[in-house]
Structure 1
Amino acid sequence: MHVIFRESHGLDATETPVDLDQSPADLVVLSFSDSDLGAFAAGWHLGKRELPTLRLANLVGLKHPLSVDTYIEKTLSHARGILIRLIGGKSYWDYGVQQVRALAAEKNIALAILPADGRVDAQLDEMSTLPVSTLRRLCALCDTGGAEAARAALGQLALAAGLYVKPSFGPKRLPRVGAWTRENGVICPAQVACRIDKKPLVAVCFYLSYLTAADLHPFEVLSQQLKEQGFDVIGLFAPSLKEPEAARWMARQIRHLTPVAIVNATAFSGIGGDGTSPLDAGDVPVFQMMLATSRRKDWQEAERGLSPADLAMHVVLPEVDGRLSGGVGSFKQPSRRDPDLEFSRFAHQGDPERIKALVDRLAAHVALQTKPRNQRTTALVLSTYPGKEWNMAHAVGLDALASAQALLADILADGHAISDVDNLTNRLKSNYLHWDVEAYMSALASLPVTLTKTLFDVWGPPEDDPAFNGGHFAFRALRCGSAIVALQPERGSVATRDADYHDTARTPRHSYVAFYLWLRKTCHVDALIHIGAHGTLEWLPGKSVALSEACWPEALIGDLPVIYPFIVNDPGEAAQAKRRIGAITLGHIPPALKQSATPDRLAHLENLLDEFSNADGLDPKRRDRLQEDIRSEAQALGVEDDLGLNQATSTAEAITRIDRFVCDVKESQFGDGLHIYGRLPETKLDFDAAIAVQSERDGLRKAMSGRRVQAGPSGSPYRGRSDVLPTGRNLFTTDPRSVPTRSAYAQGVKLAEELVRRHLQDHGDYPRHLVV
């Protein structure tokens, strides 16, 4: 039995007959690769005046034999030269290769069928009609990539077909590493380093493959918008940030160019064998621009925002490097049909709206580097984690009020105009700041209509809000010089406070919306410090990641830098803040654990819940397996009985209630006292707390100065995770060094066994070789 390898080219791959309906041309290039076709399109436009006419087509549309026959009749039969680039050999497009070979032999057409994997394929050589020497030259040009090489390949094909073409001069091979600008293409980095006007420089890092595929539209849009904001821009490209030579080059350029910020469009983590990323060399914030492989329409309709693959590549693993979320910058979709080539390429299309949001966020962080500290306005917002109505500033493992006092003292020492910091607790009980409804309604007009309509549908007019009185909203807040200290308002009704806190479907009420608009539109806050795990802003309705302007978290926080002291042992919920409000989550020491049997019994259940939080959206199959494991563990511990859950309870409700229960138990029973951010605990700990609290203060200082904050793992230092020390680093939630977990290992075993069983069933023998 023969198993034919097939590739699915996205969701649109189909074997239904289609008619590409292209008119004849002198040359035709066919490939399964969008990058190939994009480079040939760009190359043809470079030499448009000298090159013969050209048609381009993706072989995805020519899978069905009837599609092949129709295309041969309408287009290929009139061509003088045909170039086909295949991954996987002749069997990859067997019927098409045979029919095109027969056509070329009959009509004396120059035919080059080339491998796209960098290896010689004697079978494809035999099916071609050109000399091997010509095929090797064409292969070398195609493997080089880029518009110039594609232009030269078209010229070579034209000559082989008996069509005269003027030779193209100049380099055909792109450097492996280099610099790029929207105006001049590939340049020497020194040209930017010697710029005359010396505007603040932003470095944009991307893969060499985007250049070889002429797939640069996202970077062109980004460059234009950065320049409109007053920045200079340089693109830096490399094949990989982990290739040692390329990494060293990238780090040298960043140190030499001294950018004020970096936008990174490479995927995964860039940390090499020495434990550092070349992007760390600038000591500036690095914003991760997500290049989605989905179409914009799919993203608009998806609650998760990104596919599991995009989530892993552009969100989860880049967080290990400490990169800040820049949001989605492009979508992969068809461009406008090129009338000259009768071809619409499938490529990354930069999204101006989303890129503007990234640029605004970057500019707000950069402003912290230059704006005098005594002229800045800082908001300190205190969590009111669900408890009783009379709880004030109640955070997990953190004394929020004492921490606010400590943070005010720290930023005062750094030169901020802070005053009146005494007796915060009593003053917050009775002090209110007000905002009139006319200003609110004016600011509300800046939000998307879909959000304001929902707001009024759910909550009615502003006058019905419990915090509204006498024509204005009253916020429990006070001014301490240039700082505003406030309690985070209720997002919903007091009666359903506990249920509303994590409800990602519950629309916030008017006074909540007004509070954040007031901070941005009237107070003109430069940075927001949210004190303590955790708030409600990151739990508002909207996409899980890659948010849009119609998602409540982004609509309210806008481009405001968010600095978020967060308990270091709660990675799942820190991820919400990082991914949905772009927060810098500064880990802080958790309270020392009490000696109790309860934490040991619930430890495995808590680990399963944390793992479920990471797997949700990233690995649906593992998520489903974890749901079963969580419920089984909860049943074995008697947790489901305590919560009144039964077999009829939906899995989603059960997981939510079990998670809430574990969070409540962890907070109320495990912690011994509360930590004060950046201050030594009174209790003697098993590690050097002095280094940790100094690191907490340093992390806050760097974040408030618009500098890079080093990334750090999450976990409990009391459970053997000494690597989470010192605290004060920007938390990441998934550490590649700590995988696989037990559940992931079990899932891997199951998949491996199924693979071997299927191979044994199909072939009667065990597999001898395997590529993963």
Structure 2
Amino acid sequence: MILFVTTADTDLLTADRAVQGLPGEFPEVKAYNPANLATEEEQGEILAAAGNADVVVLRLLGGKRAMPETFDPLVRLCHERGIPLIACPGHQEWDQELVTACTVPPSELDTVFSYLIRGGVPNFQNLFLFLSDSYLGSDYGHEAPAEVPWEGVYHPDEADGMDAETFVASRFQPDRPSVALLFYRAHWMSGNLLTIDALIRRFEELGANVLPVYSFSLKHNPEGDGQANRTFSEILCGPDGQPRVHCIVNTMGMSMTDLDQDGATFATGPQVDYLDQLNVPIIQGIFSTGSEADWEKSDLGLGPIDTAMSVALPEFDGRIITVPISFKEEVSSNSPGQNGKMDARLQRNLPRTDRVDFLARLAVKWAGLRLKPNSEKKIAIILSNYPTKDARVGNAVGLDTPASVVNILNAMKDAGYHVTDIPADGDELVHRIIERCSNDTDTLTEEQLRLAAGHVSSREYQ
């Protein structure tokens, strides 16, 4: 039996698809994600499986910390019983603690790592064949790890491998809003695409061109050759360096920029130049790591991990944060263990239809603004007023917000927006605002109420 432990649910989905193509008599594959095993008893399932395994493969993002209670006992068990143990990191950089835990020669560790980091169903099939031939005494034969694109264009109606230039030429309609949809390469390789497909279909129903792009990383070039990240340089931008789209929906977590802290934290690195070059709104679509049921019943909504990965850190890129559009739900394996193939608890991202619709409509509207002349756009500038006193209109500690608004109005006028009668300075702006109504009930007059731009009844407000 082959035991495969990984912190990536997409690895489990890929493995499930891979074993379907293996010979009928192929040994059983047991697979676990330790992050999905909540209790000590469930964690013990990994140790029990390891005791009966012919080879154990770990792929751990975060190293041994991904299995704080189980890692050391598992390593001891494998060493004591002579069970081949292959421990790989979940990213491209080697982890010395994992390497030290291994009981196989470095060449075999490197081979397994190559299968895993390249990913995809064919590589996982050959990984399992390699493990069976090397440690279970079979003679199936296997191919070496194959290269798989680090980034590319995907569409459910198109064959894989189409380049961005051909895709845009064949599918984009002129004078339509165009939206790029970024998602993790792991979803493409594992077939975890239900939410992505739902977004693509909704964009197209709304009359938009959509450029779906999978990528290993937006932060670095995974080939490490010093060249630009192709997601930006060759897919999102055309040969002329101009963006192919009017708006980007990014479902990938974290920040694509480097974060530098010198008093304040701010974005740095070459990705900042790409963002400036693209100069289009980037909207964050949130793939939750939890279930929809947990999200529904939680007073907080998103948990701490989702908030950090999909809200706080993406804000450093200037992304527009929206709503959760996808949740992880447990699904049945296509290759159940009782049939002699794979035994695993699988989790797949499923779309939340109403949130997919909301995000798609929002993105198409943002994209549509790029097609509209500035003179036809209507912009609202909202100032804080807390506490609700006249002296607190536009209040912000250490900042002259009213003066900033005047500067913005002048910049908008220079950019072709229809802006007239701009106040001379921040003081004049605040006085004009107060004249047209106020939240300060101590000084509010009937004349101010009469001049108010609009009225909302207390019933409507509630």
Q: Shorter-chain TM-score category?
A: 0.5 to 0.7
Q: Of the candidates 327, 335, 339, which is equivalent to residue 330 of structure 2?
A: 335
Shift of 1:359: 1.2
Would you say 1:85 and 2:58 are equivalent positions? Answer: yes
CA contact (8 A) 2:248 2:280 kept: yes
Equivalent residues in 2 for 1:210-249 (5 A)?
Answer: 215-229=192-206, 230-242=208-220, 245=226, 247-249=228-230
Q: What secondary structure is seen at the aligned counterpart in 2 of 1:172?
A: coil
Shift of 1:288: 1.8
Q: Label 1:312 to 1:57 Cα distance change in 2 as closer, same or farther (>3 A).
A: closer
Residue 283 of structure 1 aligns with which residue? 279
Q: Distance in 2 between matches of 1:239 and 1:177?
A: 8
Q: Which amino acid aligns with 1:258?
A: R
Q: Label 1:284 to 1:132 Cα distance change in 2 as closer, same or farther (>3 A).
A: closer
Residues 602-657 of structure 1: CA distance to partner in whole angstroms, max 9, x if unpaired? Answer: xxxxxxxxxxxxxxxxxxxxxxxxxxxxxxxxxxxxxxxxxxxxxxxxxxxxxxxx
Q: Label 1:239 to 1:167 Cα distance change in 2 as closer, same or farther (>3 A).
A: same
Would you say 1:352 and 2:325 are equivalent positions? Answer: no
Residues 427-469 of structure 1: CA distance to partner in whole angstroms, max 9, x if unpaired? Answer: x9999xxxxxxxxxxxxxxxxxxxxxxxxxxxxxxxxxxxxxx
Q: Distance in 1 between matches of 2:200 and 2:385?
A: 41
CA contact (8 A) 2:57 2:86 kept: yes
Q: Label 1:366 to 1:295 Cα distance change in 2 as closer, same or farther (>3 A).
A: same
Residue 486 of structure 1 aligns with which residue? 453
Q: Distance in 1 between matches of 2:388 and 2:33?
A: 62
Q: Which amino acid aligns with 1:202?
A: V
CA contact (8 A) 1:262 1:285 kept: yes
Residue 38 of structure 1 aligns with which residue? 13
Q: Distance in 1 between matches of 2:379 and 2:164?
A: 40
Shift of 1:86: 5.8
Q: Distance in 2 between matches of 1:367 and 1:201?
A: 8
Q: Of the candidates 250, 265, 272, which is equivalent to residue 231 of structure 2?
A: 250
Equivalent residues in 2 for 1:465-480 (5 A)?
Answer: none
Q: Distance in 1 between matches of 2:46 and 2:5?
A: 15
Q: Distance in 2 between matches of 1:121 and 1:49?
A: 31
Q: Label 1:35 to 1:430 Cα distance change in 2 as closer, same or farther (>3 A).
A: closer
- Number of aligned residues: 398
Residues 115-134 of structure 1: CA distance to partner in whole angstroms, max 9, x if unpaired? Answer: 113468466326xxxx8765
Q: Which amino acid aligns with 2:344?
A: F
Question: Which has the higher mean CA deviation after the structures are superposed, 148-157 or 183-192?
Answer: 183-192
CA contact (8 A) 1:200 1:231 kept: yes
Shift of 1:312: 3.5
Equivalent residues in 2 for 1:653-672 (5 A)?
Answer: none
CA contact (8 A) 1:177 1:208 kept: yes
Residues 654-682 of structure 1: CA distance to partner in whole angstroms, max 9, x if unpaired? Answer: xxxxxxxxxxxxxxxxxxxxxxxxxxxxx
Q: Label 1:314 to 1:70 Cα distance change in 2 as closer, same or farther (>3 A).
A: closer
Q: Distance in 2 between matches of 1:94 and 1:392?
A: 62
Q: What secondary structure is seen at the aligned counterpart in 2 of 1:150?
A: helix
Q: Which amino acid aligns with 2:128?
A: L
Q: Of the candidates 94, 102, 114, which is equivalent to residue 86 of structure 2?
A: 114
Equivalent residues in 2 for 1:259-658 (5 A)?
Answer: 259-264=245-250, 265-270=252-257, 271-273=267-269, 276-331=272-327, 333-338=328-333, 340-341=335-336, 342-371=343-372, 378=378, 385=385, 395-396=394-395, 410=413, 414=416, 486-487=453-454, 489=456, 509-512=458-461
TM-score (norm 2): 0.65
Q: Distance in 2 between matches of 1:315 and 1:231?
A: 26
Would you say 1:157 and 2:146 are equivalent positions? Answer: no
Q: Which amino acid aligns with 2:353?
A: P
Q: What secondary structure is seen at the aligned counterpart in 1 of 2:269?
A: coil
Residue 179 of structure 2 aligns with which residue? 202
Residues 15-41 of structure 1: CA distance to partner in whole angstroms, max 9, x if unpaired? Answer: xxxxxxxxxxx6553445534323312
Q: Which amino acid aligns with 2:203?
A: L
CA contact (8 A) 2:75 2:101 kept: no
Residue 712 of structure 1 aligns with which residue? none
Q: Of the candidates 144, 147, 152, which is equivalent to residue 121 of structure 2?
A: 147
CA contact (8 A) 1:176 1:208 kept: yes
Shift of 1:150: 1.0
Question: Which has the higher mean CA deviation after the structures are superposed, 158-167 or 258-267?
Answer: 158-167
CA contact (8 A) 2:185 2:216 kept: yes
CA contact (8 A) 1:277 1:321 kept: no
Q: Label 1:116 to 1:202 Cα distance change in 2 as closer, same or farther (>3 A).
A: same
Identify unmatched segments of 5+ residues in structure 1. Answer: 1-25, 106-110, 432-475, 479-484, 491-508, 514-772
Q: Label 1:180 to 1:272 Cα distance change in 2 as closer, same or farther (>3 A).
A: farther
Q: Distance in 1 between matches of 2:117 and 2:436?
A: 71
Q: What secondary structure is seen at the aligned counterpart in 2 of 1:116?
A: strand
Q: Distance in 1 between matches of 2:357 and 2:46?
A: 46
Q: What percentage of aligned pairs have identical amino acids? A: 17
Q: Label 1:136 to 1:365 Cα distance change in 2 as closer, same or farther (>3 A).
A: closer
Shift of 1:287: 0.9
Q: Distance in 1 between matches of 2:172 and 2:8?
A: 41
Q: Which amino acid aligns with 1:203?
A: A
Q: Which amino acid aligns with 2:237?
A: R
Shift of 1:114: 0.8
Shift of 1:387: 8.0
Q: Distance in 2 between matches of 1:93 and 1:379?
A: 55
Q: What secondary structure is seen at the aligned counterpart in 2 of 1:235?
A: strand
Q: Distance in 2 between matches of 1:269 and 1:393?
A: 36
Q: Distance in 2 between matches of 1:134 and 1:319?
A: 41
Q: Label 1:227 to 1:308 Cα distance change in 2 as closer, same or farther (>3 A).
A: same
Q: Distance in 1 between matches of 2:382 and 2:3?
A: 64
Q: Distance in 2 between matches of 1:123 and 1:348?
A: 32
Residue 172 of structure 1 aligns with which residue? 146
Q: Distance in 2 between matches of 1:165 and 1:477?
A: 86
Q: Label 1:195 to 1:49 Cα distance change in 2 as closer, same or farther (>3 A).
A: farther
CA contact (8 A) 1:238 1:246 kept: no
Shift of 1:69: 9.7
Q: Distance in 1 between matches of 2:387 and 2:233?
A: 52
Q: What secondary structure is seen at the aligned counterpart in 2 of 1:174?
A: coil
Q: What secondary structure is seen at the aligned counterpart in 2 of 1:276?
A: helix
Q: Label 1:71 to 1:334 Cα distance change in 2 as closer, same or farther (>3 A).
A: farther
Structure showing greater relative contact order (alpha-carbon pairs closer than 8 Å, 6 or more residues apart): 2
Residue 426 of structure 2 aligns with which residue? none
